[in-house]
Structure 1
Amino acid sequence: MNNPSAPKKITWIIGLIFGILGIIGHFAKVQVLTEHSFTLLLIGFVVLALGTTVRGV
């Protein structure tokens, strides 16, 4: 197993944006975000997890 490493800045920003959109969709009634809030949050988490486990991402 690889040692965890810091993700690239763009990977971190993309994961953060997806996570924030998922949280907004959960608490606010924005049609597109509310329908896909769990999926957006999951994508954000997966992007951040991949960014820390795979070097160069």
Structure 2
Amino acid sequence: MLGWALTFFIVAIIAAVLGFGGIAGASAGIAQILFVVFLVLAVVAGVSRALRGRQP
């Protein structure tokens, strides 16, 4: 998930440099959404691992 966010971020930077404002804005928006989803999933995984504890 983080890899996809970085990919869209790089596409946004390249599009912005080349002057494609619409594509750059859309790619940046997608990258932000994917990054937030990644963070939420990482927190949920960490909390569930902490609550479960060690298995015997």
- The bucket for the TM-score relative to the shorter chain is 0.3 to 0.5
Name which structure has the greater RCO, CA cutoff 8 Å, separation 6+: 1
